[in-house]
Amino acid sequence: MIMLHGLGDTGDGWSDIGYMYKSSLPNTKFIFPHAPRRPITINFGMSMPGWYDIASLEEVNRSEDAEGLQESKRYIEELIAKEVAAGIPASKIVVGGFSQGGAVALLMLRSATQLGAVVALSAYVPLHTQLPVFSEANAKTPIFMCHGDADQTVAFAFGQKSYQLLQSQGANVEFQAYVGMGHSACQREFDDVLEFVKPVLSA
């Protein structure tokens, strides 16, 4: 399971998931990559860890950093290729992420490599006007989207619209809302994610 952190964070910020899920998924390797530092427009050009640049939170799909997104996609594809070369079938690899990381996880649906599942927490489909939003290889890949209905950073409506887009394209997608949760995560969400990935990672 590859888990991608949000803007300004590092892989270490999500490493607790490995400990949390260890007893339920004893044979699963967890990878928590670090995004490179880059200037972030919305934060006045300050340099911080980010999978891509963001210009606006009001319109996350406007003026998207397609180059940064594709660069991050290639990097995650390299990580997947290393695991496949080590003997792990791609169909046993889950890519998940929070916020920016979740957007990159959803971008991985466009990969030519069939993934085991994709998990997106408090995220949205990037480059949504560039159809199709998933490759033929990932047409049936299970997708789990989770979003707090009180999210003030990545609006709940963006998550819902992304879910509806995936659904309209025939994707195998589920959406779970968390009442009162802002731009964060909660234990119930972690439990739901575990139940979702277990059939893929423990079979």
Q: Which residue has the tokens 């509806």?
A: 164
Cis peptide before 33 (omega within 30 of 0): no
Phi, psi (deg, nearest 5) at residue 131 = -90, 150
Q: Looking at the annotation, which residues are catalytic?
A: 99, 151, 183
Helix (H) or strand (E) holding 38: strand 37-40
Domain 2-197 sits in CATH 3.30.450.20: no
Please write the tens of the pLDDT for every residue from 122-170. 999 999 999 999 999 999 999 999 999 999 999 999 999 999 999 999 9
Q: 58 with 82: CB under 8 angstroms?
A: no
Please write the tens of the pLDDT for every residue from 36-84. 999 999 999 999 999 999 988 776 666 789 999 999 999 999 999 999 9
pLDDT band at 118 (very low <50, low <70, confident <90, very high): very high
**Contacting residues for 147 by C-beta, under 8 A, at least 6 apart:** 121, 122, 123, 154, 156, 159, 160, 175, 176, 177, 178
